[in-house]
Amino acid sequence: MDSRILIHAAARSVGQAAIMLSQHIGANIFATAGSLEKKELLMKKYGIPAEHILSSRDVSFSEGVLAATDRHGVDVVLNSLSGPLLQASFNVVTSVWAFY
């Protein structure tokens, strides 16, 4: 089974670097983007399917990820969100690692 990663703010510089590294290892990439222009950039430049690019403006991205992964979720989240959106990110991780 391929590794799955969710990259928030994927069109920004750190997100794009994470996409390149994830593609290098063959990971199945899910991304969030804040606008249609950013979504189009991710599709055109990196070939990420439209159904794998979700909005990070509300918690709906979590249901999109779970639906696309047959409710399995992702192995890794590169997070830049806070509050309820951070919790929604935790909810899609297959197993949680805590770092203090």
Which residue in 82, 98, 93, 96 sits closest to 30, CA to CA? 93
Work out the angle at residue 95's Cα, subtended by the Cα atoms of residues 39 and 3, and round it to the nearest 5 degrees. 50
Q: What digits encode the pLDDT tens for the residues 64-92?
A: 999 999 999 999 998 887 888 888 888 88
Half-sphere exposure of 60 (CA within 13 A, CB side): 9
Q: Note whether 72 and 94 are within 8 A (CB).
A: yes
pLDDT higher than threshold 50 for residue 99: no
Domain boundaries, the chain: 4-90
Tell me the CATH class for 4-90.
Answer: alpha beta
